Chain A
Amino acid sequence: MSPLTAARGAAGLAAVDDIEYGARFLGTLSLHEGRDPALLRHWAAVAAEFGAALAGDARAAHAGAANAGADSVQGDPVRGDSVRVVESTGGLERGLLARYTSRPPTIELYTDSVDAAERLVRAHGWREWFPAGSVRAAALAHEAVHERLHHGSERAVLKQALGHTALRLGRLRVLAHVAGAEELAAHAYAQSVCGLGRSPLLLSAALAASAAPAREK
């Protein structure tokens, strides 16, 4: 690929806004097949807002604990609590950057994907948005949110914010789970706690674009 083509590719990827990337992600889920793109954009925006707010809460709690002089400061907003982190390779092949499993609570970081993302950030001139080492931090923060949502009660708040109705019987209204919204919240959380200029979804798009020609072979 010539430098000019690469630059155009990078500019094209960066030209799409973060909410649109979120809507596109939701649109790839077969569960949302046929949904109005405007609704998907709305959900993407709400989920991003929720994730950012979650990051604010986590930072405040962490700062509070640190100021109180606790011996061991709990609730690291990037890494979460008591989660084991293991590193492995094979992420590029599987299309994964990181993975959280609840039994036992573990975050698996795919170092080959993280390195590839860092290389792309450098090649595309996105260092201002994604400082060196931020991909790893974002991956850890992203998975930490899944751990937090898995154990915590914040899911209900996200559901409330999304406001999608599963069933309405007179005055009774049952709110629906929106598949994929937690994933977008996790990206927004990672963006916020790691101080990234753009959503990690841009990295996903760049990695997918760089992997596409290899898949076509």
Chain B
Amino acid sequence: MGIVILIIMAAGVAAMLTKKLPTAFALVLLGVVIAFVAGAPLTGENSVFDTVLQEGAPMLAATMIAILLGSWLGKLLDETGIAGTLVRKIVEFGGDRPTVVALGVLAVSTLIGTVTGSAPAAMLAGIIGIPAMIAVGIPKVTAAGTILMGIAAGMPFELPIWQFFSSALELPVPEVRGFMIKLFPFALFAAVMFVLVESRRRGVEHAWAFRTETPRTKAGKRRARLGDAPWYALLTPVVPLVLALGFDIAIIPSLLAGVVYALVTTTRPRDMNRRLLRTLYGGFEVAAAPITLFVAIGILLAAVKLPGAVDALAPLVKAVSPQNPVLFVVVFTVLVPLCLYRGPLNVYGLGAGIAGVLIAAGIYPAVAVLGITASYNQVFGVADPTSTQTVWSAQYAGVGPQQVMARTLPYVWFVALGGFCVTAATAL
């Protein structure tokens, strides 16, 4: 039975890789089929309808709200000109030294990465950051990579991610936070090294381009009318972080505080209602794709945690899962490429299901599974040429996502190695 479930999972991965099915639909289908194969009844306890679909769909509800709030805050950072002002100031201060500009944009991307993720985060930092870096001579691949490495450096402190791991792996938020704090230095070190090493290796690049027009969006025109955001508004991205990290305040109120701070520091009272609603609705648009994915992941997680599925998969997974710490690090490091191209270890795909199996079957403690998934997430978030942030950044810079993957992969592979070492040392 376990073999059959693995074959079904492989078919699901193939469907996602070949784009026969969107990831979210493939995961829902996988969840339902796995539940049937595991012998779940249609209704009742541990059933397809009541457990997998009814309980699974809202399993990650708290994550969905956190994602929505992060997207809302991201929209506010964009509309109020906070993100743009941060990048503009960096270029004005450090424009003579391209590496300094790249490090500054990296810092802004890291800050934005703590608030929101995926393509919206890349857009927030990259819409101004990428042309700014290219204008001072940073090569295009390095410019795109800098945005992605920066966002990934902020990812260990991205509050919606904490919520996701906490809900999906059934871990208390402080445990998630504890691991993320240990993962952060690796992510930051790799990001800074990326900028320094790649700037040194590739030098600067200037081109006589005859196509330079940048599309002017509605939000861009609105920003243009408003000008720069005041300096105290630039602290917005750190507000949720300080509250959650420093004052132990829960994730949703921390994000809400960020929304309120951005609003009161940039908006006249008479415009507040309109701006809040407009950016909230904009946030829904941004959050639609990840929320859909989290509904699907919840369904898949509910399916692989069914007793029938656990009984079938546990012996197989146990046989191939290393328990020795050194072997653990080596095996999971070698498997890093499997989280690329929507592969089976992609956390926002089948990887979530595998994580569910590892915990439900008692193969690793939940915190070790957190270590595995969070480390793979660092790779996926930067180097996967199918992830929306990588595709957007590469295309906006005028290069291919594969070029960005080739340049960034060694650095994020190192981050994953660091994450596995920490996991082996602390959780096995």
- A-to-B contact residues, CB < 8 Å: 25, 28-31, 33-34, 94-103, 113, 139, 142-143, 146, 150, 155-156, 159, 164, 166-167, 174, 176-180, 182-183, 186, 200, 203-205, 207-208, 211
Contacts of B205 in A (CB 8 A): 99-102
8 Å CB contact of A30 from B92, B127, B203, B211? B127
Q: Which of B87, B205, B216, B398: most chain A Cβ within 10 A?
A: B205
A89 to chain B minimum Cβ distance, whole angstroms, is: 15
User: In this assembly, does B227 line the interface, its C-beta being within 8 Å of a C-beta of chain A?
Assistant: yes
A94 and B204 in contact, given A33-B223, A179-B95, A179-B132 (Cβ under 8 angstroms): no
CB-based contact B132/A31 at 8 Å? yes
Q: Are B96 and A103 in contact (CB under 8 A)?
A: no
Contact between chains at A176 and B95 (CB < 8 Å): yes
B136 touches A179 (CB 8 A): yes
Q: Which residues of B contact A (CB under 8 A)?
A: 84, 87-89, 91-96, 127-128, 131-132, 135-137, 139, 201-214, 216, 220, 223-227, 398
Taking a contact as CB atoms under 8 Å apart, the answer to whether A33 and B224 are in contact is yes
User: Which 8 residue pairs spanning A and B have beta carbons closest together?
Assistant: A177-B95, A34-B224, A95-B211, A103-B203, A102-B203, A176-B92, A146-B206, A207-B210
Q: Which of A101, A167, A203 has the most CB of B within 10 A?
A: A101
Task: Establish whether residues A177 and B92, one from each chain, have CB atoms under 8 Å apart when the complex forms.
Answer: yes
A99 engages B135 (CB within 8 Å) = no
Point out the residues of chain A lying under 8 angstroms from B211, CB to CB: 95, 208, 211
Instruction: Output the least CB separation between A191 and chain B (Å).
Output: 13
> Contact at A150–B204, with CB atoms within 8 Å?
yes
Taking CB atoms, residues of chain B closer than 8 Å to A143 are 206, 208
With A28-B214, A94-B398, A103-B203 as given contacts, are A139 and B93 in contact (CB-CB < 8 Å)? Answer: no
Contact check, B207 vs A166: say whether CB atoms are below 8 A apart: no
In the bound assembly, the distance between CA atoms of A179 and B202 in angstroms comes to 20
Provide the residues of chain B in CB contact with A177, threshold 8 Å.
91-96, 136
Is the beta-carbon distance between B92 and A203 smaller than 8 angstroms? no
Q: CB distance B89 to A99 under 8 Å? A: no
- In the complex, the answer to whether A29 meets B135 with C-beta atoms within 8 Å is yes
Count of inter-chain pairs, beta carbons less than 8 A: 123
Q: Which residues of B contact A100 (CB under 8 A)?
A: 205-207
B132 partner residues in chain A, CB cutoff 8 A? 29-31, 179
Interface centre among B139, B210, B212 (most CB of A within 10 A): B210
Q: Which A residues lie within 8 Å of B93 (CB)?
A: 166-167, 174, 176-177
21 A-B pairs with C-beta separation under 8 A = A25-B212, A30-B220, A31-B88, A34-B224, A34-B225, A94-B398, A95-B209, A96-B209, A100-B205, A101-B139, A143-B206, A146-B206, A177-B94, A177-B96, A179-B132, A182-B206, A183-B135, A183-B206, A186-B208, A208-B212, A211-B210
Among candidates A29, A142, A156, A205, residue contacting B214 with C-beta atoms closer than 8 Å: A29
In the complex, what's the smallest C-beta–C-beta distance from B380 to chain A, in angstroms? 28
A164 to B135, CA, bound (A): 17
Q: How far is the CA of A31 from the CA of B134 in the complex (A)?
A: 11
Nearest opposing residue in chain B for A156, CB measure: B96
Complex: chain B residue closest to A28, CB-CB? B212
Chain A residues contacting B214 (CB-CB under 8 Å) are 28-30
Determine which of B87, B95, B131, B203 lies in contact with A101 in the assembled complex, contact meaning CB atoms within 8 Å: B203
Q: Which residues of B contact A95 (CB under 8 A)?
A: 209-212
With CB as the reference atom, state the residue of chain B lying closest to A142: B208
**Residue on B nearest A175 in the bound complex, by CB:** B92
Q: Which of A25, A31, A167, A186 contacts B131 (CB 8 A)?
A: A31
Are B223 and A97 in contact (CB-based, < 8 A)? Answer: no
CB-nearest residue of chain B relative to A105?
B203
Q: Does A31 lie within 8 Å of B210, measured CB to CB?
A: no
Which residues of chain B have C-beta atoms less than 8 A from A33's C-beta?
Answer: 84, 128, 216, 220, 223-224
- B95 partner residues in chain A, CB cutoff 8 A: 176-179
| Closest chain A residue to B127, Cβ basis | A30
When the two chains form their complex, are residues B210 and A96 in contact, meaning their CB atoms are under 8 A apart? Answer: yes
State how many angstroms separate the Cβ of B146 from the closest Cβ of chain A. 16
Contact B204 A31 (CB under 8 A): no
Chain A nearest CB: distance from B144 CB in Å?
15
Q: How far is the CA of A167 from the CA of B93 in the complex (A)?
A: 9
Give the docked Cα–Cα distance between A98 and B210 (Å). 10
**CA of A167 to CA of B89, assembled, Å:** 9
- Having A101-B204, A143-B206, A208-B211, one finds 18 other A-B pairs with CB under 8 Å, namely A29-B132, A30-B132, A30-B214, A31-B135, A33-B216, A34-B225, A95-B212, A99-B207, A100-B206, A101-B139, A146-B137, A150-B137, A179-B132, A180-B135, A183-B135, A208-B210, A208-B212, A211-B210
- A179 touching B204 in the complex, CB below 8 Å, given contacts A30-B128, A97-B209, A208-B210: no
Q: Is the CB of B224 within 8 A of A139?
A: no
Q: For residue B208, give the distance in angstroms from its CB to the closest CB of chain A.
A: 4
The answer to whether A30 and B131 touch across the interface, beta carbons within 8 angstroms, is: yes
Measured in the bound complex, the distance between the Cα atoms of B127 and A150 in whole Å is 25
Bound-complex Cα distance A29 to B212 (A): 8
Chain B residue nearest in CB terms to A139: B208
In the bound complex, how far is the Cα of B211 from the Cα of A211, in angstroms? 9
CB distance from A21 to the nearest CB of B (A): 11
Least Cβ–Cβ distance between A22 and chain B, in angstroms: 12
A124 to B345, CA, bound (A): 58
Q: Complex: how many Å from CA A166 to CA B228?
A: 12
Return chain A residues, CB-CB under 8 Å to B139: 101
B210–A97 touching, CB < 8 Å: yes
- Residue picked from A30, A179, A205, A208, most chain B C-beta under 10 Å: A30
